[in-house]
Amino acid sequence: MVTKKEKKSVRQYCMTSLQSELGKFQDFGTKTQVFSKEFGEAEVPYFVNEFWTSKQRAAHSVHEVSYRACFKPQLPRFFIDRLTKPGDRVYDPFMGRGTTLVEAALLDRIPFGCDVNPLSKLLCGPRMNPPELDDVERRLDEIPKTPAGSVRGDLLAFYHPETLAQISALREYLLRRTSDGEIDHIDDWIRMVATNRLTGHSSGFFSVYTLPPNQAVSIDSQLRINEKRQQTPPLRDVAAIILKKTRTLLAKMAPLVDGCLWERGKAVRLITSQADQTKEIRGGTIQLVVTSPPFLDVVNYKQDNWLRCWFNDIDPEAVEIWHFKKPEEWQAAMGRVLKELRRVLRPGGFVAFEVGEVRNRSVLLEDLVVPAGQKAGLVPEAVLINDQKFTKTSNCWGVDNLKKGTNTNRIVLFSRPT
pLDDT the model gives residue 409: 82
Which amino acid appears at position 243 of this protein? L
Distance, in Å, from the CA atom of 122 to the CA atom of 125, rounded to the nearest integer, reads 6
The helix/strand/coil state of 38 is strand
Of 197, 214, 190, nearest in space to 122 by CA: 190
Distance, in Å, from the CA atom of 9 to the CA atom of 153, rounded to the nearest integer, reads 64
pLDDT the model gives residue 68: 67
Using DSSP bridges, classify how beta strands 408-415 and 379-387 pair: parallel, antiparallel or unpaired: antiparallel
Let me know if 145 is exposed, middle or buried by CB neighbors in 10 A (0-12, 13-18, 19+): middle
Distance, in Å, from the CA atom of 149 to the CA atom of 282, rounded to the nearest integer, reads 45
Distance, in Å, from the CA atom of 359 to the CA atom of 150, rounded to the nearest integer, reads 45
Buried b (16+ CB within 10 A) or exposed e, 81-103: eebbeeebbbbbbbbbbbbbbbb
Please give the order of strands across the beta sheet that includes 110-114.
33-39, 42-49, 379-387, 408-415, 345-354, 286-291, 89-92, 110-114, 269-271
Strand partners, 413: 352, 382
Element (H, E) at 83: helix 74-83
pLDDT the model gives residue 316: 85
Give me the residue spans of the domains in the chain: 4-118+256-415, 133-249
pTM comes to 0.89
Distance, in Å, from the CA atom of 367 to the CA atom of 151, rounded to the nearest integer, reads 50
Distance of CA 130 to the CA centre of its chain: 18
Residue 413: which residues within 8 A CB-CB, separation 6 or more?
A: 79, 350, 351, 352, 353, 380, 381, 382, 383, 384
Question: What's the topology of domain 4-118+256-415?
Answer: Rossmann fold (3.40.50)
Q: How many CA atoms lie within 13 A of 57 on its CB side?
A: 2
Distance, in Å, from the CA atom of 243 to the CA atom of 140, rounded to the nearest integer, reads 8
Per-10-residue mean pLDDT of the chain, 418 residues long, equals 57 78 88 93 94 69 75 91 96 94 92 94 92 96 96 97 98 97 97 96 95 83 96 98 95 62 83 96 98 76 84 89 86 97 97 76 83 97 80 40 57 95
Let me know if 55 is exposed, middle or buried by CB neighbors in 10 A (0-12, 13-18, 19+): exposed
What does R_g of the chain's alpha carbons equal in angstroms? Answer: 22
pLDDT the model gives residue 100: 95
Distance, in Å, from the CA atom of 178 to the CA atom of 184, rounded to the nearest integer, reads 9
List the end-to-end C-alpha distance of the chain, in Å, as a whole number.
14
Using DSSP bridges, classify how beta strands 110-114 and 379-387 pair: parallel, antiparallel or unpaired: unpaired
Contact between 411 and 47 (Cβ < 8 Å): no
Contact between 385 and 48 (Cβ < 8 Å): yes
